Structure 1
């Protein structure tokens, strides 16, 4: 979809907002929402191209828009759906890149009730959601060392696959005494090979000042020969001492069909310094072991300040230092803003 058609589609959705009230009266509740973020700065990664001065899209959170809805079925049950699309604030382009479909963030339908929630479609990988709980920089694919070293290929991302899974069926339990779990199964849709599928088992705990998360995933799509599959694991926790919130996690991956494994750890800190602002700091270290190649160690550190301007808007300044085996250290820095609606 080109930019002109994308803008026309967005305009149509806004115009359709006038009919949301009628839908609500008919029993269907629909909400339009999203986040717009952008930053300016210099980016450079160890072992990568020379530093680039950029106006970047997203930043602390990848920009997106979407709409979700529900219909009451009675007895505490309802039908739910969500259609969400990433977009690039700097150019107005749809998706995180040209490879993304229109509804690249989520596109699912399902049912929810006292039994939990069952959804079918394109859905955010729960491993990525859990990582957002374990980093002071949230789920940022630009500034969080935990996410960079796990999911971003140009940072030797430890985990194969995207932060979103296609053809997925997911069940989420109700949260009980702070605990919730879910299982997600992504069909590979490979002819004659029904076992070609992704599987994830996840849990997290949120109660008082303490939070913890665990993820285990088996990825078979997409993998590149001689790999046949990869297993990835995440375990971490955070505790808010009021004067500071402390984070810690470990990430491990192993590939079948070839020697290619990673071992990583990450620590973070969030310190409130005013009623509206907080200092953020995080360090990630990942060691990769590969067949017939020397081990590679990547060390990434971020430090920043995030200041809340209002209920929906914040601004931030971030410095990031990156170093991997055999290459010089590099420095990145950025000033950014994000707004939710």
Structure 2
């Protein structure tokens, strides 16, 4: 590997590799391949991140993802001249507490989470042009997940970030955080404005999926709007808790008051059911989070809510789905030992109100608490 092609430390501080807001804002190496990744290890007491139910109790465990899901990969580019490049990324999730690949093994209904293939985080090839933007083909992070993690004090955490938990983990949303069989176009940035379009072919499985995102960044202010439609297929990786067709939109914004930086989201997920059993249940989702630098670290806080005025289908007492409401509060401190290594402590409270099965369906309240101490290293 040519040392001149290594990523600069500033690039490695990005939340997710090779997404539009990173590559378009920086000058990429002319040609080469880079190894990159994040190892996140934590210990703590964690209640189900899918949303607590009346029978859930905290579990003492080791995590491979308190602030970030551990992952590693290869990213490369070849200079084709005249501002054009061939680009690719192959990256995999890691369960560093055991050495296993992926985030989890296959889980049956009602969770409906597929086992992660080795390069389930990203596996794509594309072409970029400094004037026209870029096109990527393969397994690619969804535009909705990109929208969520880039305007969020707790970044890409799917264990403690309220907006990520409410939108992607134990939620009515289908489609997961990456789509297979995708074609994605990312525009160049013009006067702070950029956009992306995504289409995931069904490959004879049903579907297809489609999405769009528009983003604006100028000085201390950032704002973006994402929309997606999922027809449950293609079969995606870690597809969430829903086997239904869904549509969702999300508006995100942030402002850096220096030193305090404030983030927010407002959105909606519509559970449309299936062709055999149509539904029209809408869930409103919002959150606020903040990051306040203190010395060599930063205080983190986030609060989010998901509610519905409709009546979700009643579920068993052991199921995480069917929430009438879910509210998550997270507080934490993140201390930097260097530009690439940090230690952190996080605590959260998760409250749900769920319509549960009975002779006469009843609403049951549940509260869970999670706590973790961890270390995160980027390379």
Q: Give TM-score, length-normalised by structure 2.
A: 0.78
- The answer (yes or no) to whether the contact 2:232–2:246 under 8 Å persists in 1 is no
Q: In structure 2, how many angstroms separate the alpha carbons of the residues matched to 1:329 and 1:255?
A: 25
Using the TM superposition, give the Cα deviation of residue 176 of structure 1 relative to its aligned residue in structure 2, in angstroms. Answer: 1.3
Using the TM superposition, give the Cα deviation of residue 58 of structure 1 relative to its aligned residue in structure 2, in angstroms. Answer: 1.7
Q: In structure 2, how many angstroms separate the alpha carbons of the residues matched to 1:248 and 1:134?
A: 7
3-state SS in 2 of match to 1:87: strand
3-state SS in 1 of match to 2:279: coil
Match status 1:333 vs 2:349:
no
Tell me the equivalent position of 1:175.
Answer: 189
Tell me the equivalent position of 1:272.
Answer: 293
3-state SS in 2 of match to 1:243: coil
Match status 1:201 vs 2:209:
no
Using the TM superposition, give the Cα deviation of residue 49 of structure 1 relative to its aligned residue in structure 2, in angstroms. Answer: 2.5
Q: 253-262 or 164-173, which moves further after superposition?
A: 253-262
**Number of aligned residue pairs:** 313
Of Structure 1 and Structure 2, the greater helix share is in: 1
Q: Residues 103-131 of structure 1, C-alpha deviation per residue, up to 9 Å, x if partnerless?
A: 11110001001210100000011111111
Inter-CA distance 291–316: structure 2 relative to 1 (3 Å threshold): closer
3-state SS in 2 of match to 1:35: strand
- The answer (yes or no) to whether the contact 1:307–1:314 under 8 Å persists in 2 is yes
Q: 2:96 aligns with which of 60, 68, 89?
A: 89
Q: Residues 18-66 of structure 1, C-alpha deviation per residue, up to 9 Å, x if partnerless?
A: xx67x99xx8411111111111100014215211001101221111111
Q: In structure 2, how many angstroms separate the alpha carbons of the residues matched to 1:295 and 1:72?
A: 50
Q: In structure 2, how many angstroms separate the alpha carbons of the residues matched to 1:53 and 1:228?
A: 33
Consecutive aligned runs of 4 or more in structure 1 exceeding 4 Å deviation: 291-295
Match status 1:58 vs 2:65:
yes
Q: 2:154 aligns with which of 105, 114, 137?
A: 137
3-state SS in 2 of match to 1:147: helix
Using the TM superposition, give the Cα deviation of residue 149 of structure 1 relative to its aligned residue in structure 2, in angstroms. Answer: 0.6
Matches within 5 A, 1:1-341: 17=1, 28-45=31-48, 46-47=52-53, 49-98=56-105, 99-113=115-129, 114-153=131-170, 157-190=171-204, 196-222=207-233, 229-256=245-272, 257-274=278-295, 276-288=296-308, 289-291=310-312, 293=314, 296-325=324-353, 326-341=364-379
Using the TM superposition, give the Cα deviation of residue 261 of structure 1 relative to its aligned residue in structure 2, in angstroms. Answer: 1.9
Q: 165-174 or 98-107, which moves further after superposition?
A: 98-107
Q: Could you list the runs of 5+ residues in structure 2 that have no partner in the other structure?
A: 7-29, 106-114, 273-277, 315-321, 354-363
Inter-CA distance 78–295: structure 2 relative to 1 (3 Å threshold): closer
- The answer (yes or no) to whether the contact 1:259–1:290 under 8 Å persists in 2 is no
Q: In structure 2, how many angstroms separate the alpha carbons of the residues matched to 1:135 and 1:329?
A: 24
Using the TM superposition, give the Cα deviation of residue 227 of structure 1 relative to its aligned residue in structure 2, in angstroms. Answer: 7.3
3-state SS in 1 of match to 2:365: coil
User: Highest relative contact order (Cα 8 Å, sep 6+), 1 or 2?
Assistant: 2
- The answer (yes or no) to whether the contact 2:172–2:271 under 8 Å persists in 1 is no
Using the TM superposition, give the Cα deviation of residue 204 of structure 1 relative to its aligned residue in structure 2, in angstroms. Answer: 1.6
Q: 177-186 or 284-293, which moves further after superposition?
A: 284-293
- The answer (yes or no) to whether the contact 2:271–2:281 under 8 Å persists in 1 is yes
Q: Could you list the runs of 5+ residues in structure 1 that have no partner in the other structure?
A: 1-16
